Copies of this chain bind each other. A is one copy, B any other.
Amino acid sequence: MMHTLDALNRMPDGDFIAAIGDTFEVASWVAESAAARRPFPTVAALHGAMVGMVRAAPRERQLEFLRGHPDLAGKAARAGSITDDSKHEQASVGLDSLSEVEFARFHHLNDAYKAKFGFPFIVCVRRHTRDSILAQFERRLGHDAATEFAAAMQEVFCITRLRIAAKVTGDGMPEVNGRLSTHVLDTHAGRPAVGVTVELYEFAGPNAHCIHTDITNADGRTDKPLIGGRPLPIGRYELRFAVGNHFRSKGIECGDPPFLDIVPLRFSIAEPEGHYHVPLLCTPWSYSTYRGS
């Protein structure tokens, strides 16, 4: 249920805690402390205050807090004993539908991680593709305890920032969304390329699967961003543009088969809250791209 910041600032403590108490996983004490600090001028300030309380808590309480998080793709997730927020977040990246082999892999990493650090692996899954979660997992297993403690806390703050942004509206929303966009310029004609089919693929290991298909409009752009209104999952992507059809439809001689048919642009996203503009400038015989903004 969505609340306005204004309403949250004015409701009784009990209602406030009921409204946002599950933001920090099994740590309603965070909301309880926050209740007393009201009012907050911005939604970002509300989240910032909650983060501040976790940071200020004694190490033992922080550790207990981290330990309260479910195993990623773990047994708890399968058994249904985790919060709804966690469930949705893990489903978004396909962690609810792992094969037995993949489940075993995650399970093994999780055990090794917990044995080393004493709390489960926490990652803000909505900021990642499956590939980058796995890469994170392996990289973070190599951390020393202090580095990893800080890394885990940072992930909690990313997770809860997204949760707050999903539950509360009002002034000063925290920045949680990125944007991936494109446009196609036909530099043979000196005009936007209209009606070009654009496919967005996400890589999982060596394979890429199509996650979005669109068509360029009169301005050579897609009507909406390819990804928008949410964090951009860190990972590897490929845009594929059907430029062969575009030039063929205009009767332009391009060779048989055409020198360029499907043009792939392969790139990675590293900043979930960033703006990635990945355009294609194209003739039947040449093309270029760049990271724009």
Contacts and interface: CB of A to CB of B under 8 A. Distances in A.
Nearest to A266: B264
A200 to B, nearest CB: 15
B268 A255 contact: yes
A260, A266, A287, A290 pick with most chain B CB within 10 angstroms: A290
Nearest to A258: B268
A263 B263 contact: no
A258 B260 CA distance: 26
- For chain A, the bracket of interface size reads 35 or more
Interface string A160-203: 00000000000000000000000001011111100000000000
A208 to B, nearest CB: 11
Interface in A116-170: 132, 135
Given A257-B132, A257-B234, A257-B270, A287 B286 contact: no
Interface string A245-272: 0000000000111111111101110110
A255 B281 contact: no
One complex includes copies of this chain to the number of 4
Contacts of A185: 290, 292-293
Given A192-B293, A270-B256, A291-B259, A286 B236 contact: no
Contacts of A284: 190
Interface in A217-243: 219-220, 234-236, 238
Nearest to A220: B293
A285 B187 contact: yes
B262 A267 contact: no
Task: Sort A-B residue pairs by CB-CB distance and give the 8 closest, nearest first.
Answer: A190-B285, A288-B288, A286-B290, A255-B270, A187-B286, A257-B268, A285-B291, A190-B291
Given A132-B257, A185-B290, A264-B266, 5 more contacts: A187-B286, A190-B285, A259-B270, A286-B291, A287-B289
10 contacts: A190-B291, A192-B293, A236-B257, A236-B261, A257-B270, A259-B268, A259-B270, A259-B291, A264-B266, A287-B289
